[in-house]
Structure 1
């Protein structure tokens, strides 16, 4: 990566800026990429706290002769937010809703506010901002304005340009102005000479603009010169200079506040018609007829996306609920009017499909039809699947990946079928294929040819495809930029699209606003070649040296090879940056630092293993800091559509660091807990002195790093003995003929929470299942999952534990017995890490037989093999799910087990990680983040639970965090079921 060092700039910014000023190589590397194929190392990064910080950064950059690029969520797919100068990040602090006019349906927002966060604030007022891009969980309004984003419902609501009223901006020379509809003498108006120059340009080029600008709605390429053309006829659009800044990609001015139009929330009675087609062309031909019905949106999902989504656990239940058979393409058609009109629209949709020859049950070549979805929850799940289209496509585990460069060309609907056929032929001609999805309603399909841009020949193929595709788009009078803007990818092609005169006008606009080329140079005008490999994430000479790994990464061999391939699965699209819903990424939700999000960690790892952060980067203290706040929740394993498993990557890096630098006393103390717990349990009273005597707690904090502000878990004198878990033979008729259950008594349950294991035994006994406690083949040391060794980086010790446990449990597995456990992080280690530590058939067989207690209960009850004598509890119950339960899709089983209790009033708390995460919550360096994670949603929800309500949490750490944070005692599902057992049994 090319880079320039500016120590003077760093010192100045550190003095003048209240936000974070980041000039170290690791931080700059994290801002060197966005969601495109490009990578440029910046000179430095400013995480602006105030608008004054932005102005100070601009002044310093101008006076130091350094370019400045604004950045929001960093999700640009064309390289808009990468540059070699100063990067200014607005997403952490400049994210406020400044003013809200509910009656007038207007809002004034800071540029760093994320679309989903904004809409959560607007929802209580019955309003939303309707430019609903698929990256809504991380896309900022400033970035959307810079790109002129569109969203899936632009058919009804238009683009950003249609929804931006005004922009308060700072120009390159420091001049401030409010860019809006022209109004003589308006407060804060832009410089009059600039306004006059732009109006003169509009008058002069009106004819050329009318002749050369594509007529499709999805035209976001170049500058919006048509916004400068004054119309004389009544009802014509007045000149609004904000619309010139919209889509300018930060090259003309810097927004400090944006005034936007709002819309009423769509009615909850919307209906979705999922049109199934036997061929891709059939769907493309049908699009224009479906659009004529005036739906809110028509979105494409092709068979490639369906097939890839079937490999991602979080999407499987959704697909099973609405996809019928094996369609080649789906058109998701939404109607969002009143209920009667929606029903009529669905009927008309079915009639159109019937007229086209499609209807389920018809048979033959025209098999297809409409699946109607009225359920709001399923509609939301389908919308989430469609919004994840990019990441689903990028989940391919092979050397080639779908590459964005002809990503969002837009053509008139009547040409869509021919265009897609011809573009497919171009792909085939160059030896590749494309993946298709998105906005069929606008003739703007996201299509990505599969290429390996590490190879010179594939980069050459990329250019050849681009040139042929863009020529075809011009032939159809379409736009080569239909949604994602220009950036580095498309800017060089503007002359062919618009002609030299219009490109000259683009350059004239840039010069008028930014004569020294300070703001985000190389975008829209004077652009580099799109295939300049020196600007790419994988430049010439990119290589990663092989090194022996602790875990088996061969399942990633198709993408690049082992650990490298796993790391490179991150495409930077930023799904991990969402601030609410599900779990990923809990530490980022607290800090809002790029370093502390899955994407930032993956980028750092990629740069480190490829030598771009200097020698020894993988083992460095900077890398340790990068991973320190990763709580190994495993949410990314499930929620990242490309499957970036940061928990396992962190374990690998800790192992590599431990080999290079050794382990601390704290590491060894945590890792060896399963081995030393029996000693600690016998001296639990003496250990309790630490919690009762403050000076001792502070001394031990100094020595071992365990925070004096947190009491340690209590070792129980009545620990769980293995013989307690042995229950011979069951009662006939209930579990009759069942081969039995083996209880895997984890370290935490055995020594800290034995009541949970005893409760599980009581439930299984009441259901009539033969139970025995898992025991080692030799020696007295209880079996262990090795979780503490993994968390401490001692993967070799964890492997030894895995081998010992596998050997002891395999006879039971072969006998058909279920291996069940209560602590999610321990039992699920058998399913996740064991096969990666000890590859082979035995580990895989054990993984398939290992079940959480509640998974076993739910499975047996569903099969009607388990009949429990349960009585109503007469209490409300509030359930918090352990991160690993969520990561492995076990939460439905937890709910199903609890709902076996008659009339149980159950509420599931929507929460991310509890924040305790094993030793993380006890560490003096991380306790503040731990507590802040708990306060995001879990602890407030528990405090609001009625007195006397049950609080249910299966994780030992979760229960401790709840008690420490609220004073409420949470219990395991097994305890709830045991408490509901009839006293007559």
Structure 2
């Protein structure tokens, strides 16, 4: 596939909202986007990226009546954009159209979408009672009830919550980080804050081993991608505006960069804010990095912690948004630098979960069909572990294969002397 070159990304990033929409005029109607669309392959009801994106936008500009709810079948995986030889932001066009023209009438499925997307609200409510919430949501009767009411498929297991938040753990347990000469700020995201503190804990440990201090942003909201995917664009924009102000404040202090351990969070902060939500992030975009891009630069310059051999074989799955950004190469190279680690890079393909998409009853079968080939490759790999930078990819892989799937940082921490 042909990735969009950095120069093209910079050129498009400089456009205002109206001019971004006009990028559909660059479409040469080659249909390669539809060929690479995982939904179009698995669901005959979805007309494909070209028809829903550039072709549909031409009609929607004439009249909103041309908006079709079939756009909700798009997973926002961005593989259409990765494949496009003309740099058309097809996924952004579709997401923007859903935010501008989509309607959410009151229904049980609207309530489901609200619960799945408002991660800060429900994470704050659930973490104080995490053991009880986790026990309830794994009960078959509860799953059946959700399946028939709010239409969360009963074959899916909802993510487990941690007891308390990562931010609270940081305040109580992290040693004074100001002792380090170099400082970075950490955008931890909802998953680390409410679901799995270990990713953030591992990140701090590795950064400190590299003599770099880790500060949290003064305030932080969900990056907004689940809100965008479920049609709550107004709320996503409010989150984006707050996050950008906090990123600016952090970079005006001692922090040299803002690092994310989630491939989707990093991509959203950099790309979705200006192109989907029309939130200006030009002051901070080039200072926001995925952990692997930042760490690879440090390791290449010699700032690499001492590590012992792991003597393990792993398979690496590239998340869709990470391939779109082009940063997957940094994670792959980091893994290859861990002594004794045998790395098999799987052919890039969507896992099918796509955030909240695969949890919905109406999307479950398509989700599983999309991920089927990936699951088979992992099960036949004879590896010890699967590895991926994306939390939802890890959930999907663990639920549908025989391997545990971990964040790359867990292997780096395991290798630290």
User: TM-score normalised to the size of structure 2?
Assistant: 0.89
CA distance in 2, matches of 1:725, 1:933: 41
Q: Which residue of 2 aligns with 1:973?
A: 408
Structure 1 residue 649: deviation in Å? 2.2
Which residue is equivalent to 1:942?
378
Secondary structure at 2:141 match in 1: helix
In 1, Cα distance between the equivalents of 2:146 and 2:375?
Answer: 28
Q: Please point out which of 809, 814, 826 is paired with 2:252.
A: 814
The partner residue of 1:597 within 45, 48, 61 is 48
Instruction: Within 5 Å, give how 1:104-503 maps onto structure 2.
Output: 312-313=4-5
Question: Could you tell me which of 16, 26, 32 is aligned with 1:554?
Answer: 16
2:151 corresponds to 1:705? yes
The aligned residue for residue 832 of structure 1 is 271
Q: In 2, distance between residues paired with 1:696 and 1:912? A: 32
Q: Name the structure 1 match of 2:212.
A: 769
Q: Which residue of 1 aligns with 2:133?
A: 687
1:795 aligns with 2:230: no
Counterpart of 2:294? 856
User: In 2, are the aligned partners of 1:727 and 1:765 still within 8 Å (CA)?
Assistant: no
CA distance in 2, matches of 1:615, 1:857: 46
Cα distance in 1 between the residues matched to 2:174 and 2:268: 21
Matches of 2:331 and 2:389, distance apart in 1: 9
Alignment partner of 1:606 out of 54, 57, 60: 57
- Find 1:667's aligned residue among 100, 105, 113: 113
* In structure 1, C-alpha distance between the alignment counterparts of 2:15 and 2:111, rounded to whole Å: 30
Are the aligned partners of 1:830 and 1:846 in contact in 2 as well (CA < 8 Å)?
no
Q: CA deviation at 1:639?
A: 2.2
Match of 1:919 among 333, 356, 363: 356
Distance 1:691 1:868 in 2: 40
Change (3 A) 1:762 1:615: closer
In terms of fraction of residues, the more helix-rich structure is 2
1:878 pairs with 2:315:
yes
- Whole-angstrom distance in 2 between the partners of 1:597 and 1:666: 26
What is the rounded CA distance, in whole Å, between the counterparts of 1:897 and 1:726 in structure 2?
Answer: 26
User: Structure 1 residues 741 and 704 mapped into 2: Cα distance closer, same or farther (>3 Å)?
Assistant: same
Kindly tell me: are residues 662 and 655 of structure 1, through their superposed partners in 2, closer, same or farther at Cα, counting changes over 3 Å?
farther
Task: State the secondary structure of the residue aligned to 1:818.
Answer: strand
Deviations 1:250-287 (A, max 9, x none): xxxxxxxxxxxxxxxxxxxxxxxxxxxxxxxxxxxxxx
Q: Secondary structure at the match of 1:741?
A: strand
Please point out which of 267, 282, 287 is paired with 1:844. Answer: 282
Query: Does the 8 Å CA contact 1:313/1:638 hold for their aligned counterparts?
Result: no
Does the alignment pair 1:643 with 2:58? no
Contact 1:725 1:771 in 2 (8 A): no
Partner secondary structure for residue 26 of structure 2: coil
CA distance in 2, matches of 1:727, 1:835: 35
2:402 and 2:358 map into 1 onto residues whose CA distance is 16
What does residue 66 of structure 2 align with?
617
- In the TM superposition, residue 832 of structure 1 has moved relative to its aligned partner by 0.6
**Which residue of structure 1 lines up, in the alignment, with residue 336 of structure 2?**
899
* Cα distance per residue 1:36-77 (max 9 Å; x no partner): xxxxxxxxxxxxxxxxxxxxxxxxxxxxxxxxxxxxxxxxxx
Cα distance between partner residues in 1 of 2:288 and 2:174: 17
Task: Give the number of equivalent residue pairs.
Answer: 409
1:964 lines up with 2:399 in the alignment: yes
Equivalent residue for 1:716, pick from 153, 162, 166: 162
**1:819, 1:569 → 2: CA distance?**
33
> What value does the CA root-mean-square deviation take over the aligned residues?
2.9
Structure 1 distance, partners of 2:25, 2:334, is: 39
Q: Compared with structure 1, are the counterparts of its residues 610 and 848 closer, same or farther at alpha carbon in structure 2 (3 Å cutoff)?
A: closer
In 2, Cα distance between equivalents of 1:667 and 1:653: 18
Residues 40 and 47, structure 2, Cα contact 8 Å, conserved in 1 = yes
Rounded Cα–Cα distance in structure 1 between residues aligned with 2:240 and 2:175? 23
- By how many angstroms is 1:849 displaced? 0.5
Shift of 1:783: 3.0
The DSSP-based 3-state class of the residue aligned with 1:820 is strand
CA contact (8 A) 1:691 1:697 kept: yes
CA contact (8 A) 2:79 2:324 kept: yes
Q: Which residue of 2 aligns with 1:287?
A: none
Deviation at 1:797, TM superposition (A): 1.4
Q: Provide the residue aligned with 1:633 in structure 2.
A: 77
- Aligned-residue offset at 1:695: 3.3
Partner of residue 519, structure 1: none
Measure how far apart 1:659 and its partner are: 5.7
Give the aligned partner of residue 951 of structure 1.
386
Change (3 A) 1:727 1:760: farther
Partners in 2 of 1:750 and 1:896 — Cα distance?
27
Q: CA deviation at 1:730?
A: 5.9
Is 2:59 the counterpart of 1:570? no
Instruction: Say which SS state the counterpart of residue 832 (structure 1) adopts.
Output: helix
Q: Could you tell me which residue of structure 2 aligns to residue 760 of structure 1?
A: 203
Q: Are 1:552 and 1:839, in contact at CA under 8 Å, matched by a contact in 2?
A: no
Q: 1:397-456 deviations in whole A, cap 9, x for unaligned?
A: 99xxxxxxxxxxxxxxxxxxxxxxxxxxxxxxxxxxxxxxxxxxxxxxxxxxxxxxxxxx
Unaligned runs of 5+ in 2: none
Measure, in 1, the Cα distance between the counterparts of 2:243 and 2:178: 25
3-state SS in 1 of match to 2:344? strand
* Structure 1 residues 555 and 695: alpha-carbon distance in aligned structure 2, compared to 1, 3 A threshold: closer
Match of 1:587 in 2: 39
Partner secondary structure for residue 315 of structure 2: strand
Shift of 1:648: 1.8
Report SS of the residue matched to 2:314: strand
- Give the Cα–Cα distance (whole angstroms) in 1 for the partners of residues 158 and 166 of structure 2: 19
CA contact (8 A) 1:824 1:852 kept: yes
* Alpha-carbon distance change, 729 to 704 in structure 1, aligned in 2, over 3 angstroms: same
Q: d(CA) in 2 for partners of 1:660 and 1:588?
A: 24
Residue number in structure 2 paired with 1:746: 189
Q: 1:928 to 1:660 in 2, by over 3 A?
A: closer
**Partners of 1:661 and 1:645 in 2: CA distance:** 28
The alpha carbon displacement at 1:895 in A equals 1.3
TM-score under structure 1 length normalisation = 0.39
The 3-state SS of whatever aligns with 1:851 is strand
The one-character-per-residue Cα deviations of 1:548-590 (angstroms, maximum 9, x if unpaired) are: xxx9963763xxxx52x23343332111244xxxxx3221232
The superposition leaves residues 867-916 of structure 1 with CA deviations (integer Å, 9 ceiling, x where unpaired) of 21111101112111111110000011001211221232111011311111
| Contact 1:727/1:771 (<8 A) preserved | no
Relative CO higher for 1 or 2, CA cutoff 8 Å, sep ≥ 6? 2
Find the aligned partners of 1:725 and 1:600 in 2 and give their Cα distance: 51
| SS of corresponding position for 2:74 | coil
Pair 1:742–1:807, CA change in 2 (3 A): same
Query: Per-residue displacement from partner, 1:106-158 (whole Å, max 9, x unpaired)?
Result: xxxxxxxxxxxxxxxxxxxxxxxxxxxxxxx9xxxxxxxxxxxxxxxxxxxxx
Structure 1 residue 807 displacement after superposition: 1.6
Structure 1: distance between partners of 2:246 and 2:397: 35
